[in-house]
Amino acid sequence: MAKTFTDEDEALLADLGVEVETGKAPSRTPREERIIAGFEEIQRFVEEHGCAPQHGEERDIFERLYAVRLDRIRDQADARALIEPMDHQGLLAGYTSTPDVELDDDSLLAELGIEAETPPITELRHVRSTAEKRAAEEIASRERCEDFDTFKPLFEQVQKELDSGLRDTRPFEMKAEIEKGRFFIVGGQKAYVAEKGETTITDQGRTDARLRVVFDNGTESNMLMRSLQRALNKDEAGRRIMDPIAGPLFSDQSIDGDDASGTIYVLRSKSNHPLVAANRELVHKIGVTNISVEQRVAGAQLQPTFLMANVEIVATYELYNINRTRLENLVHRIFAPARLEIEVMDRFGRAVVPREWFLVPLFIIDEAVQMIRDGTIRDCVYDPKSASLTRVV
């Protein structure tokens, strides 16, 4: 580790005739500083909400801007390389980059599903753009699906899986979700992407493709991917039907065909904060990660989510074929009554309130994990007064 000298040290060395070389901190360009600051805002959003920012008209405008910003960081190789060391939440993991394209303001607004405003002097009110008209026409111009008998069983199976909880739905987020074999809900109907043509790049540098979309009422439409995206964004009830949840919630051993999805980890802080120091055996951070826990906690002393201090790994539980965000939200809901209310200052001197630290004994965390494993955790919550898991009536 490099040593640093105080002013007194340097003065003493100067008296001894020893010259001290002062190393200069590596400087960053204004663009790199903006990227880092922007990514840290996204990380604070994730800390507060427990999930990555999402696209969709029903979302807060700041969340949508964060979602676009995250896409841009993911798509630019130099930006990815810059923020990868600080990506402790795995926001870059498993993301397939699209060609680097510098978007202007209008294009960024388009990614949010917002039509750019024209200058007031040329503005035509109550007149839809050509793109809007074309999108509406494509949605409306459905034809009878001649081979609907082939697709009807698929829709019936999807409905059964939705009813049983094997499938779930969530708001539509971004165009990249539109792939062959996926189901959506738009205009109150289930839509199945039966075919997807060759991906092309528009004059504005955006991707598009021709789709064959079959609807559960026996009709179909030959529409552009961007038209389906626009329809889903404009529909307040527009949803993506998720793939079936398969395999165990998590297990000590994987079953043939299972892919390890991540790890529940429990950490203990080495912070000297009075509240932490007085309750060190009870203060635990509970999270879920898709990378090694050691990699997740690297540089903990520089991150407000770790209380700007090093940590000790006290327990880990492997999990398979699971939605990490949903599992983490479940764990945090259970222990919400014991959430540690603490404020720390980040490296820029800004106050941050971490949300993943709890005043709970380790044996209770282990008990909760076992209950999640055997499916008995439903409707349970941690009671700080009795230090036990109780069922909510």
The domain locations on the chain are: 30-116, 130-241, 260-391
Sequence-separated (6 or more) residues with CB below 8 Å from residue 338: 358, 359, 360, 382, 384
What are the residue ranges in the chain where pLDDT is below 50?
1-2, 23, 25, 98-106, 111-133, 135-137, 140, 246-260
Sequence-distant (6+) residues with CB within 8 A of 238 are 56, 171, 172, 184, 185, 186, 231, 232
Q: List, in order, residues 6 or more apart from 347 with CB less than 8 Å away.
A: 302, 308
pTM: 0.41
SS3 at position 257:
coil
Joined together, the tokens standing for residue 330 give 């479940």
Measured CA distances, 39 to 18, 52, 82, 102, 390 (Å): 43, 11, 10, 18, 39
Render pLDDT for 169-224 as a digit per residue (tens, 0 to 9): 888 877 778 989 999 999 889 999 999 998 888 776 778 899 999 999 999 999 99
**What would the two tokens of residue 150 be?**
């082939």
Interval 91-150: pLDDT, tens: 887 665 544 444 444 455 554 444 444 444 344 444 444 444 454 445 546 899 999 999
For residues 53 and 201, what is the distance between their CA atoms, to the nearest angstrom? 25
Alpha carbon distance, N-terminus to C-terminus of the chain = 56
